[in-house]
Amino acid sequence: MINEKKEITKKGNKKKSNFLSGLMFLVVCGAIGAGIGFLSASYFKSFMDTYIKSDNFFWELLKYYGLILIFFLGYIIHIIIHEAGHLLFGFMSGYSFVSFRIGSLTIIKDKDKISYKKFGIPGTAGQCLMMPPEIKDGRYPFIMYNYGGGIMNLIVAGAGILLVVLIEGIPVLISTILILISAAGIFAALTNIIPLKVGGISNDGYNVISMLKDEDARRGFYLQLRVNGLQSQGMRIKDMELEEFKLNEGSNLLNPLNSSLKLMEYNWYLDNMDFTRARRCIEDFTPWINKIIPLYRNEINCEKMFLELIGDCNKEFIDSIYDKNLKKYIKASKFMIGKKRIMMAYETFYNNNNEKALGYYEEAIKLSEKYPVKGDAEMELMLVNWIKKMRNI
Last residue of a domain, one of 208, 223, 243: 208
Within the chain, what is the greatest distance between any pair of CA atoms?
Answer: 75
Average pLDDT of the residues in 21-33: 52
pLDDT band with cut points at 50, 70 and 90 for residue 336: very high
In a domain, 67, yes or no: yes
Average pLDDT of the residues in 207-217: 92
What is the overall mean pLDDT for the chain? 85
Is the Cα dihedral 254, 259, 265, 266 positive or negative?
Answer: positive
Average pLDDT of the residues in 12-24: 46
pLDDT band with cut points at 50, 70 and 90 for residue 4: very low
Question: Same domain, yes or no, for 90 and 235?
Answer: no
Q: What per-residue confidence (pLDDT) applies to 173?
A: 81
Question: Same domain, yes or no, for 359 and 243?
Answer: yes
Question: Same domain, yes or no, for 57 and 149?
Answer: yes
Alpha helices in the chain (DSSP H): 2-47, 57-92, 143-166, 172-193, 204-213, 215-232, 256-271, 275-283, 294-310, 315-321, 324-332, 337-345, 354-369, 374-391
Query: Does position 388 have pLDDT exceeding 80, yes or no?
Result: yes
Q: What per-residue confidence (pLDDT) applies to 3?
A: 39
Query: Does position 19 have pLDDT exceeding 80, yes or no?
Result: no
Question: Same domain, yes or no, for 85 and 167?
Answer: yes
pLDDT by residue (tens digit) across 252-290? 999 999 999 999 999 999 999 999 999 999 999 999 999
Average pLDDT of the residues in 207-222: 92
Q: What per-residue confidence (pLDDT) applies to 42?
A: 53
Q: What angle do CA 301, 252, 290 make, to 5 degrees?
A: 35
Least confident of 32-46, 109-123, 156-170, 176-190: 32-46
Question: Same domain, yes or no, for 77 and 222?
Answer: no
Question: Same domain, yes or no, for 172 and 288?
Answer: no
Q: What per-residue confidence (pLDDT) applies to 274?
A: 98
Which of residues 23 and 92 earns the better pLDDT score? 92
Query: Does position 37 have pLDDT exceeding 90, yes or no?
Result: no
- Which amino acid is residue 349, in one-letter code? F
Domain that holds residue 328: 215-391
Last residue of a domain, one of 158, 175, 208: 208
Q: What per-residue confidence (pLDDT) applies to 14?
A: 42
Question: Same domain, yes or no, for 291 and 339?
Answer: yes
Question: Same domain, yes or no, for 364 and 300?
Answer: yes
How much of the chain exceeds pLDDT 90, in percent? 63
Last residue of a domain, one of 149, 184, 208: 208
Q: Which of 99, 95, 102 is nearest to 81 (CA)?
A: 102
Query: Does position 149 have pLDDT exceeding 80, yes or no?
Result: yes
Question: Same domain, yes or no, for 185 and 225?
Answer: no
Question: Same domain, yes or no, for 198 and 234?
Answer: no
> How long is the chain?
393
| The total number of structural domains that make up the chain | 2
**Alpha carbon 15 to chain centroid distance?**
23
HSE-up of residue 45 (Cα within 13 Å, Cβ side): 6
